[in-house]
Structure 1
Amino acid sequence: MQTIDALDSTLRSYLQPDQSTQVRRAYYFAEQAHHGQLRRSGEPYVTHPLAVANILADMHMDHQSLMAAMLHDVIEDTGIDKSAIGDQFGDTVAELVDGVSKLTQMEFSTLEEKQAENFQKMALAMARDIRVILVKLADRLHNMRTLGVLPTGKARRIAHETLEIYAPIAMRLGMNNVRMEYEDLGFSALYPMRARRISAALLKARGNRKELVDKVRHQIESTLEQEGHDVEVIGREKHLYSIYKKMKSKKKSFSEIMDIYAFRIIVDSVDTCYRVLGSVHSLYKPVPGEFKDYIAIPKANGYQSLHTVLMGMHGVPIEIQIRTREMEEMANNGIAAHWLYKSDSQSASGSHARARQWVQGLLEMQQRAGNSLEFIESVKIDLFPDEIYVFTPKGRILELPRGATAVDFAYSVHTDVGNSCVACRINRRLAPLSEPLQSGQTVEILTAPGARPNPSWFNYAVTAKARTNIRHFLKHQTREDSVALGKRLLDKALVAQDSGLDQLSDTNLADYLQQNEYAELNDLLEDIARANRLPTITAQQLLGQSSTETESDSDTQAAPVAIRGTEGFVVSYGRCCHPIPGDPIEGYLSSEKGVVVHRESCKNLGDMRDNRERLVALRWDDEVEGEYDAVLRIEVENRRGMIAVLATRINSMGVNIEKISTEDKDYQFTYVDLEIQIESRVHLARIMKRLRTVDSVRRVSRVTN
């Protein structure tokens, strides 16, 4: 069992004596606070915070982080509050402890929601002080090491959460040693049988490979020694979880994965890295396309190294990583390497700056997310970046995850650029916004003042920032659309009662909103637009009438509501009859879809006439915008290539085809059903006229039901 004395001697090797004394004081405070509490293993509870502090001491963390590690469970598990810790050890330590503590006072409907809320709180604390996450990572690491004493179900849940959230965070912060231990411990807890089998196979393979590994290492060492390089060559072995992931993703057997031999070469300077690269390339032939320079362009987490793959003796592939001692330290401990805490006012460089930038991005996501579950989904997307590097037209490099598109690029430049993006140029050629970007490309975004995000961008936006901003913008737009439509519907219902929204007294309106628990009028109008409240009944209640008094009144006394096509999600168009501008229309208030527009002659509308209070008189506005779906049935001769001819003719008119289907009429003729996007009845008539001029087209008609 670790002791405070052993920890103290470690701390005195790199901290000031008064700082290590403060850590010891925090230990005694925690020991007293947790007095009588035991861990599941039967040990005194204080052994856990002591072990967490030891993990941080191995990373050479500062004294405040170590004090927070000692006290991190005090708020949650004892009667001591944040202010008491602040009085004893200062506000900074109290803030750190509070950031790491879980939310215990709140009730959550699901376990997922609780985990998401906890992480959201931790993200906010991280934005104030990045050390919060380092204490939390050390806390989780010790919990993973002692997972064996927990019930299987709980252990599996913690292991799953660690692999899903905490291992990627450690990776993002460049803490490779912590990440690898998380992954191996999590893998063993989730899949004990698989872990045991791979571990046994690894031990067996190690014995078989030893001779060849030693021979390759000796060749590399002697070649570099002859050239005067002072280097350290280490044989690098894959850990269990990375072997398992590779076997699963590449669908390869264990023997195929273990065919690759890996070495790490540690040198004294950046200049030597490139000299050593030349030496190993002259020793063995490099594999084309496998060289990566992460020194010139570091990874998002600050990782730096040269990577190359060589074809060694007997045709065996050899992976080589070349880096300096500082880069090795950074690769293993990331942001915790040579920790020197800097306040926000001071400039931070390297991994500190990158980590702070990532946390700022988290904070922005958190502010725009609708709820904690939505936020944690965005974080998961953001935590698995396999980076590509693209250039802005001015030569600035941007890091994006693999599979990112121009939409992701636009939002990474600035939120406003993303929101007003209309097109892009990739390497000076116009390209679709959905095209995945490749490393080295130059991307230029074209914007327009009136442009707005498109819901279809969700299908190919990859980054959390892009998806969060698109969702936020569309939600905001949807509310504006709903309020505007709700106002028109309620006003129309009030006009039918010889009144109007502007004629209602403020007192009556305020009383009605209060009785129905609406914070403001806009909330009521939004509910009306979404058909959660019927405008006719709401109008009657606002005027103090009962529904029976106005049964004889007809809605036709008021002017129909005008549909402009810009209402957004609160107005949808019946898939049964495909109404288009120019058609006589009527609306039905659906509690799921808001106002659904149908043609007056639609058969389905006839079935809805029993609920007259849900029917709304509609008309098309004089200035209608947007495109609408229409279905054409074309009777054609059975000839090869006819669909291609029809598609080409429609495409030449600049019309989008949404769907094509065919149905044989008889041996001589076929029906081709085309769903196309048009602007009005006149536009549709023009398209039908052009299609009738195609040879072998016998009849063109519009399908309405």
Structure 2
Amino acid sequence: MLRQYELVEKIKRYDPDADEAMINRAYVFSVQKHGSQKRASGDPYFSHPIEVAGILTDFYMDDKTIVTALLHDTIEDTLVTYEEIESLFGEEVGRLVDGVTKLSKIEAQSENERAAENLRKFLLAMSDDIRVLLVKLADRLHNMRTLHFIANPDKRRRIARETMEIYAPLAERIGMYDFMHEMQLLSFRELEPEAYDSITRRLESLKEGGGDKVARIASGLQLLLGSAGLKVTVSGREKHPYSIWRKMQERHISFEQLTDVMAFRVITANTDDCYRALGIIHGRYKMVPGRFKDYISTPKRNGYRSLHTTVIHGENARIEVQIRSAEMHRESEFGLAAHWAYKTGGVASPDGQAGWLRDLIEILDQSHDAEELLEHTRLAMYQDRIFAFTPKGELHQLPKGSTPVDFAYAIHTSLGDQTVGAKVNGRVVPLRTVLENGDQVEILKSEGQEPQPGWLTFAVTAKARAAIRRYIRHKQRDETVALGEKLYEDIVQRLPVEVGDKAVKAALKRLKLEDRAALMIAIATHRVTDGEVMEALIPGSTESEGVDPSGQHKPVSIRGLTPGIAYHLGDCCHPVPGDRIVGIRQTGEPIEVHTIDCLALETGQDADWVDLAWDSRSKGGTARLQVIVKNQPGALAAVANIFGVNKANILNLQLVNREGPFHTDIIDLEVADAQHLMRIVSALRALDFVAQADRV
């Protein structure tokens, strides 16, 4: 543990103007307030905040950040208050300590909810001042270093998993790679102990079998570049066990099949020398195709710059070489901390390297629950990146597997919402097209467009998925309320007297519902029955003569409501406008719409039925046909011609059976209404090629 004078001396070495008195006060305050508290290791508790402060001095952090590290657990674990911190150490330190503090011992029902709530508070605190993240990462790193002292294995695994899934990616996103690698290594050792031991033993055996191979190769690279007149520093190491294990998992290969287990770093004087060094290395050794990455011309989103290449070395080994200038190396070592070092007097802003943080904060507002928040955050932090350009040449980084929808939302949420199509490299493509590195993407938009639920099947970025889900939730609520209003109108018509606002307010109290919208949602999703609504509005009304709670006066129109949002069209009968339809209400679910002759209705005799009707202006639906076609050349073309002549679009065609001279096809068609469909069926039946055509 660092002693008081040792900590002060470390800070003074890089920041002679640091507030020594404040640091000393914070050191003593932390020791006194934590008093006799012990850690799981048996060490005094105050050793932890002091070690966290020591970690941050290695990154040349300003004095207020160091003081925050010393005090970061006092509010949570002692009787100290925020006001006390603020009065003794100032408003800025008070705010930072408050941001780092776990504000409450969250009583969540599940591990995911607890993790999500911690993450939510954490990200919001980070958005005010990124130093909160720096202190928290140092805090988590020291906790991981002492994780083995915790006796409960389940608790160790929970902490390790949270570190692997949240804190290590956060460290990577702000360019603090040493933090990331150590967190991953310590988490990996806890989560996969057998794999960790196996890989570690094999790395040790490689050293023993081949002597110091890493040193020999590093020396050779140094000599090669030096002889060309470059002043460079070359260092090498075996790759981290976790990095090796992850590659083995991704490529489904054994350790013996993994060829590039060594990595080398070349530090040059300037950017020009980086490219000169690359040319010399490629001129001497064969490059492995597809393994070169230029993060200098197109830096990573966290600001990381370097050249990465993999070559076949003379000792029949694939080696990875990273080439960067001394300035780039400093930034990669310190990451975002470099912007907060004492010299810069940084500003409390999430700009610069942490621009991605704004997207995470937006995702916080759009996430519906704990599971969704964690999913979106992991998506935003974890994925490998590609680069794509707008027609004006603006660069956007996206996760691998991204589509034009993801690209549109990366530019702006409103553009994503209004997307109707896209051009990639000048060609119109489907929205589900996966983008490649270097693609030029032009988004086609329309003010009348809205996000489509189907986009969730191919959108991969957290920002896009969060925005689409948020829109669907809002639309689902609005349309469910609208459907509830229509059902409510039918209910009140069956009452013996008119219903006013006073009766509605009384009904809300009796049903324990918040407002009128909540009542409409409860009616539409069958959380309350028609009889319960009638009784709540006018007590005793269902006992009146002539009042039938289950009866209805007229069909309820579903005009203006979106299939799949306020109601679902039955997959068994595929109703289209013009069909006679009924709805089945099940508690907590959207109404399911069926044709009046659907066989599924026979199994739902006890369900609550709603008489429904299409509006006269309702157009467009999906119908399913079963067509038995003669197995002859030109038969399918004749069938397709019928669809074309009748302006019906084929959505799906599946051959389900081939028997003798016939084959049976199931065809999903986009039609205007039931009459349109019947004209198509009649035309099919008239074809010599068609033995039978029926609606499914």
Which bin holds the TM-score, normalised by the shorter protein?
over 0.9
- Evaluate the alpha carbon distance shift between residue 560 and residue 79 of structure 1 in structure 2; reply closer, same or farther with a 3 A threshold: same
- Contact 1:658–1:677 (8 Å) recurs in 2: no
Task: Give 1:302 shift.
Answer: 0.9
2:613 aligned partner: 619
- Contact 2:570–2:592 (8 Å) recurs in 1: yes
How far apart in 2 are the matches of 1:250 and 1:542?
65
- Contact 2:418–2:447 (8 Å) recurs in 1: yes
Work out which of the residue numbers 586, 608, 627 in structure 2 matches 1:590: 586
2:517 aligned partner: 522
How far apart in 2 are the matches of 1:217 and 1:557?
85
Work out which of the residue numbers 593, 601, 604 in structure 2 matches 1:605: 601
- Contact 1:72–1:100 (8 Å) recurs in 2: yes
Task: Give 1:617 shift.
Answer: 2.1
The answer to whether structure 1 residue 486 and structure 2 residue 484 are counterparts is: yes
Task: Give 1:695 shift.
Answer: 4.0
What is the 5 A alignment of 1:317-332? 317-332=318-333
How far apart in 2 are the matches of 1:603 and 1:127?
56
Structure 1 SS opposite 2:14: coil
1:49 aligned partner: 49
The letter for the 1-side match of 2:156 is A
| CA offset digits 1:266-324 (Å, max 9, x no partner) | 01111221222222222224344433211111001111011223333255433221101
2:19 aligned partner: 19
Work out which of the residue numbers 381, 384, 388 in structure 2 matches 1:383: 381
- Contact 2:483–2:524 (8 Å) recurs in 1: yes
The answer to whether structure 1 residue 109 and structure 2 residue 103 are counterparts is: no
- Contact 1:565–1:626 (8 Å) recurs in 2: no
What is the root-mean-square deviation of aligned Cα atoms in Å?
Answer: 2.6
The letter for the 2-side match of 1:682 is Q
1:578 aligned partner: 574
239-248 or 461-470, larger mean C-alpha shift? 239-248
| CA offset digits 1:619-658 (Å, max 9, x no partner) | 2101114423x23232333558866875676478452334
Task: Give 1:587 shift.
Answer: 2.3
| CA offset digits 1:230-270 (Å, max 9, x no partner) | 11111232011101111121122223324554321101111
How far apart in 2 are the matches of 1:483 and 1:259?
59
How far apart in 2 are the matches of 1:253 and 1:8?
49
1:206 aligned partner: 207
- Evaluate the alpha carbon distance shift between residue 21 and residue 207 of structure 1 in structure 2; reply closer, same or farther with a 3 A threshold: farther
1:701 aligned partner: 694
2:680 aligned partner: 687
Task: Give 1:41 shift.
Answer: 1.4
How far apart in 2 are the matches of 1:251 and 1:75?
48
Structure 1 SS opposite 2:649: coil
The letter for the 2-side match of 1:516 is L
How far apart in 2 are the matches of 1:570 and 1:383?
34
2:228 aligned partner: 227
- Evaluate the alpha carbon distance shift between residue 478 and residue 332 of structure 1 in structure 2; reply closer, same or farther with a 3 A threshold: same
Number of residue pairs aligned between Structure 1 and Structure 2: 693
Task: Give 1:662 shift.
Answer: 2.9
The letter for the 2-side match of 1:468 is A
Work out which of the residue numbers 425, 431, 451 in structure 1 matches 2:449: 451
What is the 5 A alignment of 1:155-554? 155-210=156-211, 213-259=214-260, 261-313=262-314, 315-337=316-338, 339-340=340-341, 353-497=351-495, 504-549=499-544, 552-553=547-548
- Evaluate the alpha carbon distance shift between residue 343 and residue 545 of structure 1 in structure 2; reply closer, same or farther with a 3 A threshold: farther
Task: Give 1:606 shift.
Answer: 4.9
Task: Give 1:554 shift.
Answer: 8.5
How far apart in 1 are the matches of 2:262 and 2:550?
80
- Evaluate the alpha carbon distance shift between residue 122 and residue 554 of structure 1 in structure 2; reply closer, same or farther with a 3 A threshold: closer
Structure 1 SS opposite 2:439: coil
- Evaluate the alpha carbon distance shift between residue 651 and residue 156 of structure 1 in structure 2; reply closer, same or farther with a 3 A threshold: farther
Structure 2 SS opposite 1:255: coil
- Contact 1:485–1:567 (8 Å) recurs in 2: no
| CA offset digits 1:45-83 (Å, max 9, x no partner) | 100111111111111111111111111111111122211
- Evaluate the alpha carbon distance shift between residue 400 and residue 600 of structure 1 in structure 2; reply closer, same or farther with a 3 A threshold: same
- Contact 1:405–1:460 (8 Å) recurs in 2: yes
How far apart in 2 are the matches of 1:343 and 1:597?
64
- Contact 2:214–2:237 (8 Å) recurs in 1: no
637-646 or 356-365, larger mean C-alpha shift? 637-646
How far apart in 2 are the matches of 1:141 and 1:241?
16
How far apart in 1 are the matches of 2:338 and 2:133?
14
How far apart in 1 are the matches of 2:227 and 2:632?
76
| CA offset digits 1:122-175 (Å, max 9, x no partner) | 111101111111111101111110111112221111111111111111111110
The answer to whether structure 1 residue 561 and structure 2 residue 556 are counterparts is: yes
- Evaluate the alpha carbon distance shift between residue 588 and residue 238 of structure 1 in structure 2; reply closer, same or farther with a 3 A threshold: same
The answer to whether structure 1 residue 673 and structure 2 residue 666 are counterparts is: yes
The answer to whether structure 1 residue 637 and structure 2 residue 638 are counterparts is: no
- Contact 2:27–2:50 (8 Å) recurs in 1: yes
- Evaluate the alpha carbon distance shift between residue 544 and residue 122 of structure 1 in structure 2; reply closer, same or farther with a 3 A threshold: same
509-518 or 255-264, larger mean C-alpha shift? 255-264
Task: Give 1:224 shift.
Answer: 2.3
The letter for the 1-side match of 2:503 is N
How far apart in 2 are the matches of 1:353 and 1:392?
22
- Evaluate the alpha carbon distance shift between residue 542 and residue 261 of structure 1 in structure 2; reply closer, same or farther with a 3 A threshold: same
How far apart in 2 are the matches of 1:646 and 1:84?
81
| CA offset digits 1:159-197 (Å, max 9, x no partner) | 111111111111111101011111111111122222122
Task: Give 1:669 shift.
Answer: 4.5
- Evaluate the alpha carbon distance shift between residue 105 and residue 263 of structure 1 in structure 2; reply closer, same or farther with a 3 A threshold: closer
Structure 1 SS opposite 2:521: helix
438-447 or 105-114, larger mean C-alpha shift? 105-114
1:127 aligned partner: 127
- Contact 2:506–2:536 (8 Å) recurs in 1: no
Structure 2 SS opposite 1:504: coil
Task: Give 1:329 shift.
Answer: 1.7
- Evaluate the alpha carbon distance shift between residue 197 and residue 290 of structure 1 in structure 2; reply closer, same or farther with a 3 A threshold: closer
90-99 or 44-53, larger mean C-alpha shift? 90-99
Structure 2 SS opposite 1:519: coil
Structure 1 SS opposite 2:166: helix
The letter for the 1-side match of 2:225 is L
- Contact 1:120–1:372 (8 Å) recurs in 2: no
How far apart in 1 are the matches of 2:319 and 2:655?
54
98-107 or 169-178, larger mean C-alpha shift? 98-107
The letter for the 2-side match of 1:479 is R
| CA offset digits 1:395-421 (Å, max 9, x no partner) | 100010111111100101111111111
Structure 2 SS opposite 1:582: coil
Task: Give 1:338 shift.
Answer: 5.8
1:97 aligned partner: 97
Question: Which runs of no fewer than 5 residues in structure 1 stay unpaired?
Answer: none
How far apart in 1 are the matches of 2:315 and 2:688?
66
- Evaluate the alpha carbon distance shift between residue 331 and residue 651 of structure 1 in structure 2; reply closer, same or farther with a 3 A threshold: farther
Structure 2 SS opposite 1:38: coil
Structure 1 SS opposite 2:351: helix
How far apart in 2 are the matches of 1:229 and 1:137?
37
- Evaluate the alpha carbon distance shift between residue 48 and residue 651 of structure 1 in structure 2; reply closer, same or farther with a 3 A threshold: farther
Task: Give 1:677 shift.
Answer: 3.6
- Contact 1:410–1:418 (8 Å) recurs in 2: yes
Output the TM-score relative to the length of structure 1: 0.92
The letter for the 1-side match of 2:282 is H
- Evaluate the alpha carbon distance shift between residue 207 and residue 445 of structure 1 in structure 2; reply closer, same or farther with a 3 A threshold: same
How far apart in 2 are the matches of 1:220 and 1:135?
38
How far apart in 2 are the matches of 1:18 and 1:217?
40
Percent of matched pairs sharing the same residue:
38
